[in-house]
Amino acid sequence: MTILQRWKNTALHNKALVWASALVAFGTLFYAGAAVFQICMMNRLAKETSIQTDRLICKADKISNSIGTMVIDNESALKENRDAIQTTLTENRNELAKVLGQNRDSLNASVSQGKAALDASIESSHTDQRPWVSIVRWKLSEDPSSGKDFAIIIGPINTGKTPALSVTAISQLSIWPEEPSPTDLEAVVVKAGKMPNSIGMLPPSVGATILDFHYATDPWRLDANQVEAYRAKTQRIYLETLVKYTDAFGWKHRTRVCAYHSYGMPLDELSLCQQGNSMDDH
């Protein structure tokens, strides 16, 4: 019996079962083929995706390397810029300090010159306006003789333009065969416990006479031997006097005079010593 005869003799439900089995088998094969196809497509897609991923990773690495290079370059450029800015700032600071130093020196020089000019102007004004006390007038009270006191009346004059203030005077008489060394008159007064002669204020001396403003030495007496030497002109009577005063500016001044009188000279005549005469020698 052939397969066709057997198929004809087969019951309907068996035929249905066969067709169903065939359909199931065909469906299984179809789905199996579809699955295989899908797997192949997935594998292909996976490969392509992997390739694309590798390419992206490669490009990302290149971008990262480029960024790293850019960062290094930027850091180098920033360092160079920072160094350049620092150098410029240092140069500017040095130049500014130099300019300020030059300006300060110029200003100090200008101030010094201005101060010097002002001081010179003040000094010139002070010199022009200050008092100038000198002694060119004197007179013996009488010609020295044995057993009699005599003194020398001294008349200071002020040839300046303003009064001399707080005027004091110290004087001393002595007799010598030749000019003595200058005496420290202030030390002599201190040692003797005496007070200097006080004149007070001495105004500018315009037409003043010796009696207007004057002071006198302490009375002094020569012994017989000294009178004999004086009259023989082997010894002279020496006068030393020191006048101290203050001007209106508060500056202190002093005038020192040494003069001598010989026998036979007029009583109001004395000659200046070779030394011991000065003004403002302190």
- The pLDDT confidence band at residue 78, using thresholds 50, 70 and 90, is confident
- Show Cβ contacts of residue 251 under 8 Å, excluding neighbours closer than 6 positions: 126, 130
As separate numbers, helices (DSSP H) first and strands (DSSP E) second, the chain gives: 4, 11
Cα 60 to Cα 11: distance, rounded to the nearest angstrom: 71
262 close to 144: Cβ distance less than 8 angstroms = no
Hey, how many other C-beta atoms are within 10 angstroms of the C-beta on 132?
Answer: 19
Q: What is the full DSSP assignment across 230-252?
A: HHTTSSEEEEEEEEEEE-TTS-E
pLDDT, one tens digit per residue, over 9-26 is 767 767 677 667 777 777
Question: How far apart are the C-alpha atoms of 241 and 34, rounded to whole Å?
Answer: 148
Reduce the DSSP state of residue 175 to 3 states and report it.
strand
With 0-12 / 13-18 / 19 or more C-beta atoms within 10 angstroms meaning exposed / middle / buried, residue 3 is exposed
Q: pTM of whole model > 0.75? A: no
Max CA distance (Å), the chain: 209
Domain boundaries, the chain: 12-129, 133-279
Tokens of residue 237, six digits:
């009577």
Count other C-beta atoms under 10 Å from residue 216's C-beta.
16
Distance (Å, whole) CA 191 – CA 84: 81
- Residue 157 region, left (φ>0) first, then alpha (ψ -120 to 50), else beta? beta
The 10s digit of each residue's pLDDT in 80-105 is: 888 888 888 888 888 888 888 888 88
Residue 203: burial class (beta carbons within 10 Å; 0-12, 13-18, 19+): middle
Q: Both tokens of residue 100? A: 């300020």
Phi, psi (deg, nearest 5) at residue 196: -65, 155
Q: pLDDT for 215-269, tens place per residue?
A: 999 999 999 999 999 999 999 999 999 999 999 889 999 999 999 999 999 999 9
Whether residue 144 contacts residue 222, with contact meaning beta carbons closer than 8 Å, is answered with yes
pLDDT of residue 8: 66
| Tokens at 216, concatenated | 């006198």
133-279 is classed CATH 1.20.120: no
1 — pLDDT class (breaks 50, 70, 90): low
Residue whose structure tokens are 């004149």: 199
* Position 46 pLDDT exceeds 80: no
Strand, helix or coil for residue 208:
coil
What's the confidence (pLDDT) of residue 214? 85
Question: By three-state DSSP, how is residue 145 classified?
Answer: coil
CA distance 117 to 123: 10
